[in-house]
Amino acid sequence: MCGMSQVLERARAEELDGADPLAGYRERFWLPDPSLIYLNGNSLGALPLATLRRVETVIREEWGTALARSWQHWVDLPARAGDLVGELIGAAPGQVLVTDNTTVNLYKLASAALDARPGRHVIVTDLDNFPSDRYVAEGIAFAHGMELRLLPADIDSGISPELVRAAVDEDTALVSLSHVAYRSGALADMAAITATAHQAGALMLWDLCHSVGAVPVELDGCDVDLAVGCSYKYLNAGPGAPAFCYVAARLREVLRQPIWGWFSQRDQFAMGPRYDPAPGIAKFMTGTPAIAGTAAVEEGARLLLEAGIGAIRDKSARLTGYLVELAEAWLEPLGCMLATPRQADRRGGHITFCHPAAERIAAKLGEAGIITDYRSPDRLRFGLSPLTTRFTDVWDAAAATRDVITCGG
Ligand SMILES: *Cc1c(COP(=O)(O)O)cnc(C)c1O
């Protein structure tokens, strides 16, 4: 056999799994169906066993037995969980809060940013940004009589610093972008784009939904102003678990949060007549936090921190690289084209292909127990979660995709 065919043998995937320093983490998750190949952790991450135990304790003991007395330690859980998430995204303590969902956090931070840039009337985002990100910006621009500038980001290669540079000026109040593009997985240059926004005098807001737990992020190091992200993708906190928001310490006391709720009040239980915002990151709370979900965020973050974001990124690059290699041999000749940057340091944790029958291929794979997902208009996404995805899963999924397409999928 020649070298090329050996490279494509399943035995190679088995070797890669054997040498994988993170292989043991798969056992830390509740994955009861051994035949299931789950490549959708970029949409809903798997359930850590520690979370199963923790949430049961929260429900049975903290709520069921201790009842309202638990508020003593629940009350600062969103900030404690936020500090743990902060470790994953390069944020020093006191700048991250686990609260609300991503959409609400986008609204809070974008509104606060506009208030802090009076006289400027432009919000910049990109046409291929996630729907909530665009809609919230559109809604705020509408309510304030502002202009929404939508950059023509490339659907496959994402957003470049040059594109942002050409769009910002002295009218720009806020630039709001996703760090990893949800459709293509393209990774934006956070440092360069943030600097570009700042040169124009605008504030910079990053959405980290597809970054946290997959890609190293240095919010403090990149001088980022604001960031949001969800917790149910690579952070594995489960459906409806709260999202997070980051506000740089230098802006924390300056910004005004638009939703004036009692959990962001300085002396919450004084029930006073007027709103007086709490100092610190607590100002970005709204109402009663979702405690069980916040506890799940804490467990998810702990597991990722234990594995180490460096090791996670390293495996992620090798998993996605392996899928690209198999696709070059098997899928691209069949017209299933890579729609993610080929260079590993230009992409996040998932790989996307473009094929006219993408929706049908995803459905056929699903029937065979291989969970991927379809994204409009003709994209097939394979989410590779470093703590649970094996190289053999990648091989099996690539081979099955080839067979589905060959058989008229
Ligand atoms: C998943 C995702 C969201 C989700 O927003 P929610 O309000 O938490 O549902 C937002 N933005 C991006 C970029 C996403 O990938």
pLDDT at residue 4, as a whole number = 62
**Amino acid 380: pLDDT:** 98
Q: How many helices (H) and strands (E) does the chain have?
A: 14, 15
What's the gap in Å between 243 CA and the centre of ligand 1? Answer: 9
For ligand 1, pick from 104, 126, 182 the residue to mutate: most ligand atoms within 8 Å of CB. 182
- Pairwise CA distance, residues 228 & 321, whole Å: 28
pLDDT value at residue 3: 57
1 pLDDT more than 50: no
Across residues 219-228, what is the average pLDDT? Answer: 98
**Residue 114 · residue 140 · CB < 8 Å:** yes
Q: Rounded to an integer, what distance in angstroms lies between the CA atom of residue 390 and that of residue 36?
A: 12
Domain ranges of the chain: 4-47+308-406, 52-306
pLDDT in tens, 138-156: 999 999 999 999 999 999 9
Cα of 32 from ligand 1 centre, angstroms: 27
Q: Assess whether the C-beta atom of 230 lies below 6 angstroms from ligand 1.
A: yes
| CB of 231 closer than 8 Å to CB of 297 | yes
Residue 221 has pLDDT above 60, yes or no: yes
Kindly compute the dihedral angle of the four CA atoms of residues 106, 108, 118, 207, in this order, to the nearest 10 degrees.
-20
- pLDDT bin (cut points 50, 70, 90) of residue 66 is very high
CB 175 within 8 A of CB 149: no
CA distance 228 to 284: 12
Average pLDDT over the chain, rounded to whole?
Answer: 97
Indicate whether residue 95 lines ligand 1 (CB < 6 A): no
The residue with greater pLDDT, 1 or 31, is 31
Whether 175 has a pLDDT exceeding 50, the answer reads: yes
Tell me the DSSP string of 353-397: EE-TTHHHHHHHHHHTTEE-EEETTTEEEEE--TTT--HHHHHHH
**Residue the block writes with tokens 């180490």:** 308
The span from the CA of 181 to the CA of 190, in Å, is: 12
User: What is the pTM (predicted TM-score) of this model?
Assistant: 0.97
List, by residue number, the catalytic residues: 130, 207, 232-233, 381
State how far the Cα of 236 lies from the Cα of 231, in Å rounded to an integer: 6
Residue 2 has pLDDT above 60, yes or no: no
Q: Residue 109: what are its φ and ψ, rounded to 5°?
A: -75, -40
Q: How far does residue 132's CA lie from ligand 1's centre (Å)? A: 7
**CATH architecture label of 52-306:** 3-Layer(aba) Sandwich (3.40)
Which residue has tokens 């239980």?
269
Give me the phi and psi of 123, to 5 degrees please: -110, 130
> Does position 337 have pLDDT exceeding 50, yes or no?
yes
Q: Ligand 1 pocket, 364 CB below 6 A?
A: no
Q: Whose CA is nearest to atom 10 of ligand 1?
A: 102
Residue 409 pLDDT > 50, yes or no? no
> Does the pLDDT of residue 189 top 90, yes or no?
yes
Q: What is the pLDDT of residues 250-261, one digit of tens each?
A: 999 999 999 999
pLDDT of 53 strictly over 90: yes
CA of 130 to the centre of ligand 1 (A): 7
pLDDT at 7: 83
Q: What is the mean pLDDT of residues 46-58?
A: 98
Report residue 133 as tokens.
Answer: 């990100």
- DSSP letter for 255, please: -
| Domain 52-306 in the same topology as domain 4-47+308-406 | no
- Greatest alpha-carbon pair distance for the chain in Å reads 81
Among 161, 167, 173, smallest CA distance to 115 is for 173
Report the nearest atom of ligand 1 relative to the CA of 207: 13
Distance CA 297, CA 318 (A): 26
Q: What torsion do the CA atoms of 28, 33, 37, 43 make, to the nearest 10 degrees?
A: -70
Write out pLDDT tens, residues 67-116.
Answer: 999 999 999 999 999 999 999 999 999 999 999 999 999 999 999 999 99
What's the topology of domain 4-47+308-406? Answer: Aspartate Aminotransferase, domain 1 (3.90.1150)
